[in-house]
Amino acid sequence: MQRKNQPLVSNSLLPSQQSMTSQEDYDCTFKIMLIGDSGVGKTCLLVRFKDDTFLSCNFIATVGIDFKNKIVTLDNKKCKLQIWDTAGQERFRSVTHAYYRDAQALLLLYDVTNQSSFDNIRAWLSEIRQYAEEDVIIMLLGNKQYEVSFMETSAKTGQNVELAFMAVAKALISKQMNISANQNGSKFNLNEYIETNREQKTWCCNITS
């Protein structure tokens, strides 16, 4: 049994341990967090993106924090996406709050069949403003309100799952390049990128697991 105040992170997936077993070099590494009410499909979305498989309804809800890595090649850059899957239950909020500050992008999910998860979007955005960095990239998966980038996804069919993560990765790359070059030019338009690529029938970039 875990102690009450002990961070609930899977020991088999600690970043320090993974870094010891992999000597690959990356052009960039980004931390992305999945947040939202319990049961909205955060884990299913992550597994669909990472392994291209769908989890059935018969799985145990995330306890505390878990994460997976995905290596993608975008704009000729090899990027490591460290994607954190968080528990949505209220009793784990104090644990997840500690991870907000280091997140460079947040994917906020709600269940289109669950009115309560939709109603709680405002509360989640309030937490983001309180604990995350001001320039964090936010994407809301489900609704067009609240002035954040929006996309509907389906972990079951895979609809727009890859596009959601790749769009965020592209925004992070663009942001990093502007900072490195000390530029204050035009910003990458995440909404425009989503709309353009959502209309295409195929996704054309190289992805490696």
Q: What is the pLDDT of residues 33-45, one digit of tens each?
A: 999 998 888 888 8
The 10s digit of each residue's pLDDT in 114-147 is 889 999 999 999 999 999 999 999 999 864 455 5
Element (H, E) at 137: strand 137-141
* Domain extent for 167: 22-208
Q: β-pairing, 65-74 with 137-141? A: unpaired
CA distance 170 to 192: 12
The answer as to whether 1 is a domain residue is no
Q: How many domains does the chain have?
A: 1
The answer as to whether 178 is a domain residue is yes
The answer as to whether 5 is a domain residue is no
pTM of the model: 0.69
The answer as to whether 165 is a domain residue is yes
The answer as to whether 155 is a domain residue is yes
- Residue 88 is classified by DSSP as -
Residues whose CB is less than 8 angstroms from the CB of residue 50 and which lie 6 or more positions away in sequence, other chains included: 68, 70, 83, 209
Among left, alpha and beta (phi > 0; psi -120 to 50; other), residue 146 is left
Name the token pair of 39: 């049961």
73: helix, coil or strand?
strand
The answer as to whether 3 is a domain residue is no
| CATH code of 38's domain | 3.40.50.300
The answer as to whether 14 is a domain residue is no
In the numeric block, the tokens 């338009």 are attached to: 189
Residues whose CB is less than 8 angstroms from the CB of residue 48 and which lie 6 or more positions away in sequence, other chains included: 54, 155, 158, 161
pLDDT above 70 for 161? yes
The answer as to whether 13 is a domain residue is no
CA distance 33 to 156: 20
CA distance 49 to 8: 23
